[in-house]
Amino acid sequence: MKHTISALVQNQAGVLSHVAGMFSARGYNIDSLVVGRTDDPRFSRMTIVVVGDNDVLEQVRKQLAKIVPVVKIFDYTNEKLVQRDLMLIKVASTPEQRPEIMAMVEMFSAKVVDIGLKFVTIEVTGPEEKIEAFIEICRPYGIKDVARTGMLALPRHAKA
């Protein structure tokens, strides 16, 4: 099972290495790891998707809490989340295929960010299922390259 957790960490050198080392030393699989600054430049947020049962999740939370630069841990396992992954995908494209590809881009609310003679680079943002579906419809054209950010997540808030 996939679990999404987030860690607010001090924005300093070596924190990512400590966190990744903790996972590696214990044999836990990281499905996705995204790190970025918050609105306060002293802190970064790590969004981690880990694969395992509830016992693995509990151990990950306990071990993360022991790492000094970790300020706070958020377990999003039972939360309703807004989740987004960003992908850039370079797809083979002849001039004759471009209308088909543009129709796919529109259907997925994606965006063409670069056009070359033989390839089109497309930006797709959304939940993991949307990203995976877009990859599958691009396969027949030929995929030259793919870069993904990994999953970002924040909890949804109930309507007031």
The CATH number of the domain covering residues in 81-155 = 3.30.70.1150
Q: Report, as an integer, the average pLDDT of 86-111.
A: 96
Q: Report, as an integer, the average pLDDT of 30-50.
A: 93
Which H or E run contains 38?
none
Task: Tell me: pLDDT of 160 over 80.
Answer: no
Higher-confidence residue of 158 and 115: namely: 115
CATH 3.30.70.1150 in the chain, residue ranges = 81-155
Would you state the pLDDT for residue 148?
A: 96
Query: Residue 148 has which token pair?
Result: 């993904």
What is the residue-averaged pLDDT of the chain?
92
The residues with which 119 forms a beta bridge, in sequence order, are 92
User: Each residue of 104-140: pLDDT tens digit?
Assistant: 999 999 999 999 999 999 999 999 999 999 999 999 9
C-alpha distances in Å from residue 10, one per residue of 27, 32, 89, 137, 144 = 25, 20, 32, 41, 37
pTM: 0.82
Would you identify the CATH topology of the domain 2-75? Alpha-Beta Plaits (3.30.70)
CATH 3.30.70.260 in the chain, residue ranges = 2-75
